[in-house]
Amino acid sequence: MQDPEIREATASEPLSLDEEYNMQRSWRTDADKLTFIVCLPWSGQSSSAEDRILEKEADAEDRMIGDVNLFLRQEEEDDDNGDYGDHAEGNGEKNSKIIGEVELMIAEKQHQRHGYGRAALLTFLRYIALHRREIAADFLHREVSSDDNADNGRDIDCLSVKIGQTNHRSLALFESTGFVKVSDTPNYFGEFELRLEKFERGHIEELCEKYRITTYEEIQYR
All residues at 6 or more sequence positions from 53 whose CB lies less than 8 Å from its CB, including other chains: 222
**Quick one: average pLDDT of 130-153?**
71
Position 214 confidence tier, pLDDT thresholds 50, 70, 90: confident
* Top-level class of domain 31-210: alpha beta
pLDDT-based confidence at residue 145 (cuts at 50, 70, 90): low
Residues 73-109 have pLDDT tens digits of 998 876 554 444 444 444 444 578 899 999 999 988 8
Is the model's pTM score more than 0.85?
Answer: no
pLDDT at 125 over 80: yes
Going by pLDDT thresholds of 50, 70 and 90, the confidence category of residue 54 is: low
